[in-house]
Structure 1
Amino acid sequence: MTRPAWDWRLSDLASVPQNGLTVFSCFACGGGSTMGYKLAGYTVLGNVEIDPQMMRIYQQNHSPRFTFLMPIQEFKLLPDSELPPELFNLDILDGSPPCSVFSTAGAREDKWGAEFAFREGQAVQRLDDLFFDFLDVAEKLQPKVIVAENVKGMIVGKARGFVSLILSRFREIGYRVQLFLLNSATMGVPQKRERLFFIAARNDQPFPALKLEFNEQPVLYGEIRSGEGKKINPDSATYERWQKKRPSDLNMGDVTEREEGKTSNFNTILLKDQKVANTLASSSVFLRVDVPQHISERDAIRIQTFPADYDFLDTDVQYVCGMSVPPLMMQRIAEQIHLQWFK
């Protein structure tokens, strides 16, 4: 019996036909994008990552040839002589610049242009600059294609000004760029995760306009549900609210607003078997609606389409998954780039 696409193993990569194309990944985190490219037949040469913990996990699971544990700001300043020549002949430069300052949750504008000790790499930095640092790397390496992923919030409200600046920078360094807002639920991922993708071709590449249209059958939570989750503490306020939920409630915020007149807990999702899971964020909470339990770690792995044999070492499973691009989402994109541009 053939396993569904979301139920896969790192060991499956050994049987994937190779397409001869190379990728280098910036802000690699746990390697969600890396696994997507590998599933599509690409060779991922290595990565840049600021977080030592994430780097250990990346090396454990992906065995990169070239790996750089440093901020992107330092990597872009390395002399060409200190970089492997393969990086100057890349097919794709991939990157997911940390994006929490563009999230639509909270007073995000308060963080723009200021330095904060963000969780990404436990470093004090300006996250709204990192996309431009990434493009400086692209200018240095001159890959044929650039793929950058970010949150939908970049095209909402005042953040659109940042997007205009980013598009201008793409053009300045010699690339023509397209924007795609994609929902992973249409791409075989058991999760409603909307993400913005900047996909750019170097001006000397004779590629037509890329078309990305996905309409796969949604994968419901009940199809991937597995194992026992951590029980909700029966003495907690969460348990009391969980008991007061109604069939129409989508999250604990609905309960809190109705029962207590407070606007809070909207990030605690009530997950139903007949629904597609919401975005798995590193800080979100998913509760099963039919039993007083959190989802299981195996659920989180499947929702994010990480492989069943991924070694998380001593790191929180949901944090690694929530910070990463779903491998299956990137696989679908990488396949189309290969078919429409390189094949």
Structure 2
Amino acid sequence: MKHEWDWSLADLSSIPKNGRKVFSCFSCGGGSTMGYKLAGYEMLGNVEIDPQMMALYKRNHKPRFPFQIPIQEFKAIPDDQLPAELFDLDILDGSPPCSVFSTAGKREKKWGKEHHFREGQAKQTLDDLFFDFLDVVEKLRPRVVVAENVRGMVVGLAKGYVALVKKRFEQLGYKAQLFLLNSATMGVPQKRERIFFIAHRRDLKLPKLSLQFQEQPVLYKEIRSGRGKPLDKNGTTFKRWVQRRPSDCSFGDITERVEGKESNFNTIIIHDERVPNTIASNSWFVRYDEPYFISATDIIRIQTFPRDYDFMGADVQYVCGMSVPPMMMKRIAKQIYQQWFAKLPI
């Protein structure tokens, strides 16, 4: 029996379509896009600033309306120069870059300042991008908005930012709900906590959305594949691995104990009997029982990417770490359809 996380892009052709249309901003490699497709939605296109990510998106998803430009440029395009279909969206999806809200590092010192989100891109004030996205909401007036971000947005001082986002939704005529979800409860072999703003236009008079997921946890041993690279026995990571302890089972991060550093995303020990930790683009994932990194296939499965995704030579962990797990978005999108769209005329 094939597991749900073991799927291919070719499988999408056999999924019944529900007649609803989605457009994605900050799409990266298309993790959310694949989730919507798995749930039966039609993806019209995307906005993505990164040339490499857009190349991946085009290769794997073949969008009708791709826009490789900053979100600020997209929202400035005159309405009559945009496809008419974008003004009749069921869902506007977006994952505004969120590193300034991550609980790793001195995040508050980054707020309000320009940063390179990635080398080769223009500097942007990352904490403004969510409001740029909301400007697109105002422009396109979709029926529903789904915006994903890191858990850090609901921690500490960032809660004030969340209040501003909710207020902006209200000003635009949308009723927004905020959900903190863990992908481990959604059929994803990964403990990935993310928040989702899910909003609908008030004129639709839809009921409150309920999202409660209780899928059976998927342990690492269920998705484990061939070995990744061996650890360098003269390197720091091998020394960390040698000093692993049973107490590392909870979060798997042993950098602080070994080197006295504060770290949330560094050397992560993966155990067979546990759900793997969040796939982050800047972490090292090492097996507990042998001095090897986990394999690229492991990363693809942990992120629930399709086995035939064409990475075009890009770093697998980076692409996956920057994406929403498709199975996570599939669960959400299905509930949005069942609770909301199934009650609305197309």
Q: TM-score, normalised by structure 1?
A: 0.97
The question of whether the paired residues in 2 share the 8 Å contact of 1:269 and 1:287 is answered with: yes
Aligned pairs (5 A) from 1:75-114: 75-114=74-113
Instruction: Show the counterpart of 1:284.
Output: 283
Q: What is the root-mean-square deviation of aligned Cα atoms in Å?
A: 1.4
- Whole-angstrom CA distance in 1 between matches of 2:131 and 2:139: 12
Instruction: Evaluate the alpha carbon distance shift between residue 52 and residue 203 of structure 1 in structure 2; reply closer, same or farther with a 3 A threshold.
Output: same
Instruction: Show the counterpart of 2:161.
Output: 162
* 3-state SS in 2 of match to 1:45: strand
Q: Does 1:317 align with 2:320?
A: no
Q: Does 1:254 align with 2:258?
A: no
The question of whether the paired residues in 2 share the 8 Å contact of 1:50 and 1:121 is answered with: no
How many residues align? The count is 341
The question of whether the paired residues in 1 share the 8 Å contact of 2:255 and 2:263 is answered with: no
Write out per-residue CA displacement over residues 13-55 of structure 1, whole angstroms, 9 at most, x where no aligned residue. 0000000000000000000000000000000000000000000
Aligned AA (1:58): Y
- Whole-angstrom CA distance in 2 between matches of 1:96 and 1:340: 23
- Whole-angstrom CA distance in 1 between matches of 2:173 and 2:239: 58
Instruction: Evaluate the alpha carbon distance shift between residue 75 and residue 260 of structure 1 in structure 2; reply closer, same or farther with a 3 A threshold.
Output: closer
* 3-state SS in 2 of match to 1:240: helix
The question of whether the paired residues in 2 share the 8 Å contact of 1:253 and 1:263 is answered with: no
Aligned pairs (5 A) from 1:161-180: 161-180=160-179
Instruction: Evaluate the alpha carbon distance shift between residue 292 and residue 331 of structure 1 in structure 2; reply closer, same or farther with a 3 A threshold.
Output: same
- Whole-angstrom CA distance in 2 between matches of 1:276 and 1:125: 35
Percent identity of paired positions between Structure 1 and Structure 2: 67
Aligned AA (2:108): E
Stretches of 4+ moved more than 4 A in 1? 259-266
Instruction: Show the counterpart of 1:22.
Output: 21
Instruction: Evaluate the alpha carbon distance shift between residue 206 and residue 190 of structure 1 in structure 2; reply closer, same or farther with a 3 A threshold.
Output: same
Aligned pairs (5 A) from 1:1-343: 1=1, 3-119=2-118, 122-250=121-249, 253-254=253-254, 257=257, 261-263=260-262, 267-343=266-342
The question of whether the paired residues in 2 share the 8 Å contact of 1:147 and 1:197 is answered with: yes
- Whole-angstrom CA distance in 1 between matches of 2:129 and 2:238: 40
Segments of structure 2 that go 5 or more residues without pairing to the other structure are none
Aligned AA (1:105): A
Aligned AA (2:87): F
Aligned AA (2:325): P
- TM-superposed deviation, 1:167: 0.4
* 3-state SS in 1 of match to 2:145: strand
- Whole-angstrom CA distance in 2 between matches of 1:120 and 1:207: 42
- Whole-angstrom CA distance in 2 between matches of 1:174 and 1:285: 44
- TM-superposed deviation, 1:121: 6.4
Write out per-residue CA displacement over residues 156-198 of structure 1, whole angstroms, 9 at most, x where no aligned residue. 0000111011000001111000000000000000000000000
* 3-state SS in 1 of match to 2:246: coil
The question of whether the paired residues in 2 share the 8 Å contact of 1:180 and 1:197 is answered with: yes
Instruction: Evaluate the alpha carbon distance shift between residue 105 and residue 262 of structure 1 in structure 2; reply closer, same or farther with a 3 A threshold.
Output: closer
- Whole-angstrom CA distance in 2 between matches of 1:224 and 1:106: 31
Instruction: Evaluate the alpha carbon distance shift between residue 273 and residue 176 of structure 1 in structure 2; reply closer, same or farther with a 3 A threshold.
Output: same
* 3-state SS in 1 of match to 2:179: strand
Instruction: Evaluate the alpha carbon distance shift between residue 327 and residue 264 of structure 1 in structure 2; reply closer, same or farther with a 3 A threshold.
Output: closer
- Whole-angstrom CA distance in 1 between matches of 2:163 and 2:225: 43
- TM-superposed deviation, 1:244: 2.2
